[in-house]
Amino acid sequence: MSRIGKQEILIPVGIKVSFDGNAIVVAGPKGTLSKTFRDDIAITVTDKNITLNIKRNDKFSKSLWGTYASHIKNMLSGVVTPYQKKLILEGVGFKSEVKGKEIHFALGFSHPVVVKIPEGINVTADKNNITISGPDKELVGSFTAGLRALKKPEPYKGKGMRYEDEVIRRKQGKKVA
């Protein structure tokens, strides 16, 4: 039995939730999110809460039960307060700049790196601090991870792109005899 899946999910005031077929749509003041779910879980939406129940008593359905409840909770909280991740770009000559719907990076390569910003995400770049925010937790996290993968932090000088709360373990360089 899923402890998370058994709990009723309360719908905050000012948020509209609709469920038709296999898709759930959550609309709030900061945006609208929709997600399609498998039919292994029965989702019931009332005026003030959402309940989830399993249709089949197998291992796969039980594993989806709590996962779907977490997805719905993330959607409800995302349309009220957007999710936010911050990246710090460290290194001499490393720069980031937002131009329209693209981010332009100078990461020490022979060419500039240009990344398109997906719909539903806001990106700001102040000097070497990049802030990514949006109502969809999954989209914000995957886009931020994709940006970080462009230039991962290295352990000797700490140069590269890292999360704001990430601690880079530094290694000792070569010893002079």
CATH number, residue 152: 3.90.930.12
* Total domains present in the chain: 2
Would you say residue 171 lies in a domain?
no
Both 73 and 87 in one domain: the answer is: no
Angle at 94 between CA 161 and CA 140, to 5 degrees: 35
Same domain membership, residue 153 and residue 91: yes
pLDDT at 177: 67
Helix, strand or coil for residue 42? strand
Give yes or no: residues 74 and 89 share one domain. no
> Which pair of structure tokens corresponds to residue 160?
């590269």
37: in domain: yes
Same domain for 10 and 57: yes
Q: Is residue 73 assigned to a domain? A: yes
Residue from 30, 141, 156 nearest 87 by CA: 141
Read off the tokens for 29. Answer: 């003041």
Same domain, residue pair 149 and 87: yes
Domain end marker among 41, 60, 78: 78
Domain extent, residue 147, equals 83-163
Same domain? For 113 and 69 the reply is no
- Contact criterion met (CB below 8 Å) for 26 and 14: no
Six-digit token pair at 92?
A: 């001499």
- pLDDT confidence of residue 47: 86
| Residue after which a domain boundary falls, among 29, 56, 78 | 78
Q: From first to last of its 177 residues, what are the pLDDT tens digits of the chain?
A: 678 888 899 999 889 999 888 899 999 998 899 999 988 889 999 888 999 999 888 888 888 898 999 999 999 999 999 999 999 999 898 999 999 999 999 999 999 999 999 999 999 999 889 999 999 999 999 999 999 999 999 999 889 999 999 998 999 888 876
Identify any residues that bridge with 70 across adjacent strands, giving them in sequence order.
Answer: none
Amino acid 137: pLDDT: 94
Q: In the prediction, which pLDDT does 1 show? A: 61
